[in-house]
Amino acid sequence: MAPSSSSRADGQSGDRAVDSDTFLSTARRTRCLPRCPYAFSPFAAEVAIIADPEVIIVPVVFLFPTVAIMTRMFLKHREKMASLKAPVERSEESDARMARLEQAVEAIAIEVERIGESQRFLTKVLTDKSLPSGDVR
């Protein structure tokens, strides 16, 4: 028996519309439903989009703490910069300490110069002793 032009090989007629409940149940069983809500399908309104767990876990675990830490660092940096720009109060005690420090540095510089002079003198004396009396430099 030859199939008629209006019937298919599986016994279903080609002009019969597919029942939407049958289509949805078959699609759900085989997981063939489109995941995009904008899919061009008459059943797109019935498709429920469920986000993968990674889409929720990754931002919660990594993104939010990172943003919190960076915000905290930024605020601490602003606070530190504000304290550096604040005018420093000068007191008589700090002025006295600076004067004593300047005097100490000047005294050290004088002593270092004296040590250098004594080194030059000793080098000259030892060089003169090592030369024979008739040689001229």
Q: Is residue 69 part of a domain?
A: yes
Same domain, residue pair 126 and 97:
yes
Q: Is residue 2 part of a domain?
A: no
State whether residue 65 is helix, strand or coil: helix
| 137-to-12, 64, 78, 122, 131 alpha-carbon distances in Å | 126, 82, 68, 17, 9
State whether residue 13 is helix, strand or coil: strand
How many domains, the chain?
3
Report the C-alpha gap between 106 and 98 in whole angstroms.
12
Same domain, residue pair 97 and 125:
yes
pLDDT tops 90 at residue 112: yes
pLDDT tops 70 at residue 124: yes
CA 118 from centre of chain? 58
Q: Is residue 25 part of a domain?
A: yes
* pLDDT tens readout for residues 73-104: 999 999 998 888 777 777 888 899 999 999 99
Same domain, residue pair 75 and 97:
no
* 3 CB-near residues (< 8 Å, 6+ apart): 9
Instruction: Give the residue numbers spanning the domain of 123.
Output: 93-130
Report the C-alpha gap between 7 and 102 in whole angstroms.
110
pLDDT tops 60 at residue 15: no
Q: Is residue 32 part of a domain?
A: yes
pLDDT-based confidence at residue 6 (cuts at 50, 70, 90): very low
Same domain, residue pair 28 and 57:
no
Same domain, residue pair 56 and 78:
yes
